[in-house]
Amino acid sequence: MSAYKRILLKLSGEALMGDDAYGINRATIVRIVREIQEVTRMGCEVAVVIGGGNIFRGVAGGAVGMDRATADYMGMLATVMNALALADTMRQEGLVARVMSAIAIEQVVESYVRPKALQYLEEGKVVVFAAGTGNPFFTTDTAAALRGAEIGAQIVLKATKVDGVYTADPKTDPSATRYPSLTFDEAIQRNLRVLDAAAFAVCRDQNLPIRVFSIFKPGALRRVVEGEDEGTLVHV
């Protein structure tokens, strides 16, 4: 049984790479989709904000010296590509998904309209938000906080490669320990880069908690949705 009626899952583009240098690893995206499918069967309404780092990484060399706004728009297009791949994999796995973009690409995906997104969620569809906020200089973390607040999500789930927030990098420091929970103020004061500052501000102001967990840990998403002590909870 789901502890949450509606969640916003923040999925980085890098999470789709698997062990590849860039791009989308087919086995990885299928596994992630099946994890999402499992929680929808538990009665949870799911929206996803996806990043584009895996696609943009393949052209990053050519972006050196590029105007920041131009590079950010390229990144937004990368998130649209990821969203289409994610939605198509969901279709193949029996899930109904709708992609909504913050920038208008009407021949490819719907533009983001809040009432329509809410309707899709209430109908049991998975909504995939692409193109971040539609503005340069704002990350997809900020988009996740914004969309989470707009759709009335009860929690933002940030899926990473690490199973929570640690006192140090667990890959290099074996003595690092996981924080079971943190307040937003503690995370900011300790300079823990859970989300960027703008995303923190939105979540804190809207009393929207964040759970950081590993999407690579089998069953972790289900355990988070069931309310178990998985990852790190960041709250007011």
CA distances in angstroms from 187 to 9, 180, 192, 205, 215, listed in the order given: 20, 12, 5, 15, 21
Q: Is the pLDDT of residue 130 over 90?
A: yes
Q: Is the pLDDT of residue 135 over 60?
A: yes
Q: 171 a known binding residue?
A: no
Mean pLDDT, residues 133-138 taken together: 96
Q: Dihedrals φ, ψ of 212, to 5°?
A: -100, 125
Q: 196 a known binding residue?
A: no
pLDDT digits (tens, 9 = 90+) for 51-67: 998 987 666 555 667 88
Sign of the alpha-carbon torsion through 81, 84, 89, 95: positive
The pLDDT mean for the chain works out to 93
Mean pLDDT, residues 73-87 taken together: 95
Q: 70 a known binding residue?
A: no
Q: 13 a known binding residue?
A: yes
Mean pLDDT, residues 206-228 taken together: 95
Q: What domains can be seen in the chain, in order of their start residue?
A: 6-175+184-235 (3.40.1160.10)
Q: 184 a known binding residue?
A: no
Distance CA 93, CA 178 (A): 34
Q: 79 a known binding residue?
A: no
Mean pLDDT, residues 205-232 taken together: 95
Distance CA 19, CA 81 (A): 19
Percentage of the residues of the chain whose pLDDT score is greater than 90:
75
- Residue 22 has a pLDDT of 85
Q: 139 a known binding residue?
A: yes
Q: 4 a known binding residue?
A: no
Q: 204 a known binding residue?
A: no
Distance CA 177, CA 164 (A): 10
Q: 170 a known binding residue?
A: no
Mean pLDDT, residues 11-29 taken together: 91
Q: 213 a known binding residue?
A: no
